[in-house]
Homo-oligomer: A and B are copies of this chain.
Amino acid sequence: MPREITGFSNPLIKRVRSLRDKKHRRREGLFLAEGLRILAEAEEAGFLPEMLFYARESAEHPIVRRLVRATEAAGGDVIETIPDILHKLSGKENPQTVIGVYPERIVPLSALDRSSADIWIVAQSLRDPGNLGTILRTGDAVGAGGLILIDDCVDPFSVEAVRASMGALFTQTIATARWDEFVSWLRAGPGQLIGTSLNTDQDYQMPTYQRPCFLLVGNESQGLPTTYEKDCDILVKIPMLGKADSLNAAVATAVMAYELLNQRRAR
């Protein structure tokens, strides 16, 4: 049976609320995901929350009932509460119907099976959580194996990144590595490293890309460091006809990722 918490000063509410801060997420190894759609996608991907909060008004919603049953069966803590507390937990003006608390899942490079997918995305010093979440969502769409985070990337488990990923956080494997670690790991097996750059004239539609390929995305304002570009097997440029010389990082990733997918589809 779900237990009930309706008091704002309840220690569990305070603890879960604190997961909106990276420091607390790291300490607990837990993060928040919100909304029926994301929690249902997590369940489909095989992930149930350690704690599930729902508003008593939505107890009869079929997806809520399914999540409650599955979470309880898996030994999770299910808490019925009130919309104001969900609002406090989520920080959104229109609180979601459900909030789940999940264990963070970051794997080392050694845990990745590069042959399991044709496309992998590698992000370097990405700063915007919305971009990171959107890149995960695009990765899911193009059948990428996962996302490898290099250097000082924004936390993929921040509320904003989880929200923007629309559940892809649960379907995409996430690894972290330093650049030198990544390059050593990459060169120990097959894999083409593709960088987008302004320092090349090679159009992104010209090369025939190999499998697996690793699509490297640089920081939003700086792009890739020159030394990282030198480690790439191939540098390509997305044509831009306008006044600006760059695309949004998540957009550039998607344009490249769909070119990779389209080449594979065409063969």
| Complex contacts, A242 vs chain B, CB 8 Å | 139-143, 168, 171
- A63 at interface by CB-CB < 8 Å: no
Q: How far is the CB of A257 from chain B (nearest CB, A)?
A: 9
Query: Interface 1/0s, chain A 144-177, versus B by CB < 8 A?
Result: 0000000000000000000010111001000000
A63 to chain B, nearest CB (A): 16
Q: Is A9 an interface residue (CB 8 A)?
A: no
Per-position contact with B for A182-211: 1 when CB-CB < 8 Å, else 0?
A: 000000000000000000000001000000
A261: contacting residue among B45, B239, B261, CB under 8 A: B239
**Chain B residues within an 8 Å CB radius of A130:** 130
B248 touches A164 (CB 8 A): yes
A243: B residues at CB distance < 8 A: 41, 44-45, 140, 167-168, 171
Main secondary structure on A side of the interface with B: helix
What is the total number of copies of this protein in its complex? 2
B143 touches A241 (CB 8 A): yes
Interface residue from B238, B248, B258 paired with A250 (Cβ < 8 Å): B248
A interface size (C-beta, 8 A)? 36
A137 within 8 A of B: yes
Q: Could you tell me which A residues sit within 8 Å of B by CB distance?
A: 41, 44-45, 130, 134, 137-143, 164, 166-168, 171, 205, 238-244, 246-248, 250-251, 254-255, 258, 261-262, 265
Jot down 28 A-B pairs with beta carbons below 8 A, ordered by A: A41-B243, A41-B244, A44-B243, A134-B248, A134-B250, A134-B251, A137-B247, A137-B248, A139-B242, A140-B242, A141-B238, A141-B240, A141-B241, A141-B242, A141-B244, A141-B247, A142-B240, A142-B241, A164-B248, A166-B248, A167-B243, A168-B242, A171-B243, A239-B261, A241-B261, A247-B254, A254-B254, A258-B258
